[in-house]
Amino acid sequence: MLDLGVFRSRTCQTLTRRALLQVGSLGAVGLTLGDLLALRRTRAQGPPPGKANAVIMLWLWGGPSHIDTFDMKPDAPIEYRGPFEAIPTRVPGIRVCELLPGLARRADRFAIVRSLHHESNDHGVAGTISLTGSIGGAVGLGGQANNGAVRPSTGAIVSRLDRGGRWSRGRSPLPPYVILGNPLHQGKKPVVGEGGGLLGSACNPFRLNYEPGEGLKLPEVELPEGVTAERLSARWDLLRGVDPIRTLRRPAEMDQHYELARTLIAARSSLAALDVHQEPAHIREAYGLHRFGQCCLIARRLVEAGIPFVQVNWSTHVEGPEDSGDGGWDMHDRYFAVMQDRHGWMLDRALSALLDDLERRGLLQTTLVVAVGEFGRTPRINDRAGRDHWNPCYSAVLAGGGVQGGRVVGSSDKYAEHPVDRPTTPADLGATILSALGVTAADLTDLGLTPLGSPIEELF
């Protein structure tokens, strides 16, 4: 089916014109990519004041247990501390779970925040809070509601501010905000918070998927069955021919970006730099030959190619042969078996390899790495040998981008139930990420956003 027309949609640059080309299921996807690419103005801005120029967010969807990873309580009763031992790290006084020996040896490269907390133990609400810093997601400048518009994710804010190549410098044809993995869901309901929200759909993430044994997939530039690149190109030219007036009114830079979008669809070779098989076998194996590990490797390659914000979703997607099962961190039963057999070593191996790889390539000081979920797990073990949702206290790990390794910020009580020192929120974590990139309160208010939270300065 061929459907040519137009519709109105606000974008990050408040553009209200977008061409719609529907070619089977592809439809406006290519042009949506064009809109995203059009946000990059040709005039480059000066370098940001922060030390980081890129972020890799490892999103541990489902909620990893803080008490079984980075906030061990070895003196607590067995019904709290669980079966895993706390082991010493390279930094005296800091101990982590025995399932994380690689990270223990690299504790001088990362910092731990042990006092995160927020208002909800619901996956969907907690996900929105954690990704946007706001429980409602609909608060704009001056605290006023924006007609129900969702507050943008941290990645979307970065995408909007990168429109002049602030961090990316135009080094990559891909948009500045990339997510590796499918959209987050709670059951069949999508989780709000990964997108551009009130900044517009043009700030939504560009998605890439990696499947073990199949390689990298680009769902947003996939051609539908039966449509060749040549046929799509002809339809694109037809769109321009049947709507010459609107074409003339469209800024020239828009046409340039639409052409780039068409290039990405028609010439997939332009994305060859993302092919992990160009990496030496020992590098691929160091990350782990499973989806999360290979996505961490792709994230490093994306950052190296000039993408300023990459999010890796470890979600409920079914993993590869080394990780058969539901894949997520929401484990209410069989928790300790899954942690020991799969999740523990996967996280340890992939994050350790990422830190090593970034440091070896001279990228760690300019790349902020954040590993966190939407909440933690109940300190007290339930009657199914698992842990349930726990939002009053949980942990995050940060490295690179100016973060001083070997530090712990905040602390929890004797059972890891509540913060007792330096309580922090997802809004504070988001403010920390933006601050590391050099984003100021003035930058946010210029976008019509109320600055939320305060940077965790002790990390730096």
Question: What letters, b where the CB count within 10 A reaches 16 and e where it falls short, cover 249-268?
Answer: ebeeebeebbebbbebbbee
Output 182 or 147, whichever has higher pLDDT: 182
Q: Which pLDDT tens digit goes with each residue over 10-46?
A: 444 333 333 333 333 333 334 344 443 443 333 334 4
- What span, in angstroms and rounded, lies between the C-alpha atoms of 82 and 108? 26
Mean pLDDT of 327-348: 92
Residue 156: the pLDDT is 97
- Furthest C-alpha separation in the chain: 74
Residue 315: the pLDDT is 79
Percent of the chain predicted with pLDDT > 70: 71
Q: What are phi and psi of 455, to 5 degrees?
A: -60, 145
Residue 299: the pLDDT is 95
Highest-pLDDT range among 240-244, 325-329, 374-378: 374-378
- The answer to whether the CB of 310 falls within 8 A of the CB of 303 is yes
- Exposed / middle / buried, residue 388 (Cβ in 10 Å: 0-12, 13-18, 19+): middle
Cross-strand bridge partners of residue 390: 376
* 313 three-class SS: strand
CA distance to 98, 276, 415, per residue, from 79 (Å): 18, 43, 10
Radius of gyration of the chain (CA): 22
- The answer to whether the CB of 318 falls within 8 A of the CB of 327 is yes
Residue 47: other Cβ atoms inside 10 A = 11
- The answer to whether the CB of 15 falls within 8 A of the CB of 34 is no
Highest-pLDDT range among 38-42, 139-143, 454-458: 454-458
Of 144, 207, 212, give the one whose Cα is nearest residue 181: 207
pLDDT surpassing 90 at residue 322: no
Which residues have CB under 8 Å from 360's CB, separation 6+? none
pLDDT surpassing 80 at residue 338: yes
Q: Which of 36-50, 194-208, 326-340, 344-358 has the lowest mean pLDDT?
A: 36-50
- The answer to whether the CB of 419 falls within 8 A of the CB of 409 is no
Residue where the block lists tokens 């996939």:
222
Output 134 or 115, whichever has higher pLDDT: 115
Q: Which pLDDT tens digit goes with each residue over 189-245?
A: 888 899 999 899 889 999 888 887 777 776 555 555 665 555 555 655 665 566 555
Residue 221: the pLDDT is 55
Q: What are phi and psi of 215, to 5 degrees?
A: 95, -160
Residue 18: the pLDDT is 33
Q: How confident is the model at residue 129 (pLDDT cuts 50, 70, 90)?
A: very high
- What span, in angstroms and rounded, lies between the C-alpha atoms of 247 and 395? 51
- What span, in angstroms and rounded, lies between the C-alpha atoms of 135 and 211? 33
Q: All domains of the chain, ordered by start, with CATH?
A: 52-227+275-459 (3.40.720.10)
Mean pLDDT of the chain: 80
Mean pLDDT of 54-66: 97
